[in-house]
Every structure is written in C-alpha cells, then in structure tokens.
Amino acid sequence: MFRRVLVAIDGSEHCYQALRRALEVLKFSPLTQVAVVEVVPPVDPSIEYVPWVTPQQLEEAARKRAAQDLEKALAILREAGIEGTSVIRVGNPAEEIVALAREGNYELIVMGRRGTNPLKELLLGGVSQRVLQLSPVPVFLGK
C-alpha cells in the first residue's frame, strides 16, 4: 500500500483515464496522501510575442488552465472519497515531476502514457518515458 502518491497531469484525457485506472487498481486507504501536479512550461523571454500579450500574461494564462485541470483531477479523487492537494510547477515537466516526487517523499507517481502533444512524444520521447528513466520510485502509467 502506498502512503504518498503523486499524480502528474497535463490536461489530456489520457491523464484523467490514468487517474481513474489507478483508483480502480490501487488500494488507497484514508491515510493515503495524494498530490496532483501539473507542470507549466516556462515562457521563453527571448521570443517576441504579439505586442498586446506579455510573457507574464502568457504564463498567467497557462497557470489558470493548469488550475482548471487540477480541479478536474481533484474532483475525480473526491468522487472516490479521497482528498488531494494540488501543485503547479514551472519548468521541464519530467524533471519537475521527479523533483517533486523526491522533495515530497512520494512512493508512487501516477501519470498517463500519452499527453497533449503526440507528435513531440513520437519524435523526442514523451514525458512519461523520461519520468520512467529519472524516477527513484515506481511509476504507474495508465492508458
């Protein structure tokens, strides 16, 4: 039984399916602590964006979308009788997920196998593949 579980999401339907599947398969006790994280990629300050939108506004919009994604994941947890906490990080998704798992002493990472950018995943390898390589704890990949 896992006492500390980190659920990584990206707003894709795959991540929510992974969460639902984990809830079916894993035995969560009332003592299990679950955190849900979404990592927002940083806004590149060297890129000139359209003049009416600042990099700060782009990051704020990404954080707002992430907060909505996290609320959806927390609602899925609540339906299963589990209270969770949410975290938004900025940076490289795989590295931030693994760093948070280490910092929070999580015993399991739950995530979807496919994310929001299938082309990038095909060409460069996905976030889930990188998390598998870097993670010091087991990773539950849902489909």
Amino acid (one-letter) located at 110 = V
| Tokens coding 129 | 């593949």
Provide the residue range defining the domain that includes 26. Answer: 4-141
**What is the length of the chain?**
143
Please state the domain count of the chain.
1
pLDDT the model gives residue 97 = 97
* Cα-to-chain-centroid distance, residue 71: 12
Whole-angstrom distance, CA of residue 121 vs CA of residue 28: 31
The answer to whether 125 and 25 are in contact (CB under 8 A) is: no
We report the CATH number of the domain holding residue 15 as 3.40.50.620
* Cα-to-chain-centroid distance, residue 72: 12
CB atoms within 10 A of CB 91: 13
What predicted TM-score, i.e. pTM, was given to this entire model? 0.87
Position 34 confidence tier, pLDDT thresholds 50, 70, 90: very high
- Per DSSP, what are the bridge partners of residue 6? 35, 109
**Tens-digit pLDDT profile for residues 65-117:** 999 999 999 999 999 989 899 999 999 999 999 999 999 999 999 998 765 55
